[in-house]
Amino acid sequence: MPLPPRRGLIAYLECAGNWRKFHQEVHGRVAAGEQWGTGAVGCAEWWGVSLGHVLEAAGADDAGFNRPMSLEKALDAETLLALGMNGAELPPDHGFPVRGVVPGWSGSNSVKWVTRIVVTREPQWVKTNTTSYVLIGDAWPAERYAPADGQPITELTVKSALALPRPARLPRGIQRLHGYAHSPRGPVRRVEWSVDGGDWRPARIVAPVFPRAWQRFEVEWDAMPGPHALRTRATDAAGNVQPDAAPFNEKGYLLNVPIEFPVMVT
């Protein structure tokens, strides 16, 4: 049997719990789990083979399976069995010798150290899609997702963040600030920013633009002395925009409201 063709892909991976700590700020409630800020996300150049080619060679048909993903997602040409990262062999802590890379879905689906792939006609209910990676709260009644405690998480949300410490200290005057934005549904087309709750202003998209990668942007701010709060929001090619509000969930997943970045200008 010939080897599947090698494929390259620049894609971000994000933990569904990224920004979990900001539930305290947004909702006044602490969500359960590791209190991630903006750091549980990364972007890399991956290479490997399409999982769909492997399944086709194994004789998989169009039956659905739910662990860890639908067959439709598994057969997506950009869903990889990755063998390399950033031009080198896959490092051990990133899943050597082979890991999944599932663009647009929560990082828990991009399984490291893959040893076996099971294709089944029956739904698979296991810890990761019944209790661990599920949305639990009033907006996601458990009975609709039996036997899960809530809605199982698959796709991520559109987000943006400034590359600043929290809180940040900056000198007065013209500041060029950088950030990143990303979306599970294609490239980010627009990023906006505001100061102290003021009007939204356009940020500058920084080339290159890749559909599955995070998107760099920058803003130029004439910073005046005193305390300030900066916010950013992104809009993707499908028109999805970061919302003004989002419901609380017990595990703090998928929060993507525009969060404030406190800055003291001296």
pLDDT digits (tens, 9 = 90+) for 8-39: 999 999 999 999 999 999 999 999 999 999 99
Q: Of 6-20, 29-43, 65-79, 213-227, which gets the smallest average pLDDT?
A: 65-79
Q: How confident is the model at residue 64 (pLDDT cuts 50, 70, 90)?
A: very low
CATH superfamily of the 6-124 domain: Oxidoreductase, molybdopterin-binding domain (3.90.420.10)
DSSP 266: -
In the CATH hierarchy, which top-level class contains the domain 159-265? mainly beta
DSSP 72: H
CA distances from 122 to 78, 125, 137, 152, 213 (A): 24, 9, 27, 16, 33
Q: Of 123-132, 158-167, 200-209, which gets the smallest average pLDDT?
A: 123-132
Give the whole-angstrom CA distance, residue 42 versus residue 59: 34
Q: 208: cis peptide before it, omega within 30°?
A: yes
Give the whole-angstrom CA distance, residue 74 versus residue 80: 9
- Return the pLDDT at 164: 93
Range list of H helices, the chain: 23-27, 51-58, 71-74, 127
The whole-model pTM stands at 0.89
- Return the pLDDT at 60: 54
DSSP string, 99-145: EEE-TTB-GGGS-SS-------SS----HIIIIISEE-BTTB-GGGG
Domain ranges of the chain: 6-124, 159-265
- Return the pLDDT at 3: 62
Output the average pLDDT for the chain: 92
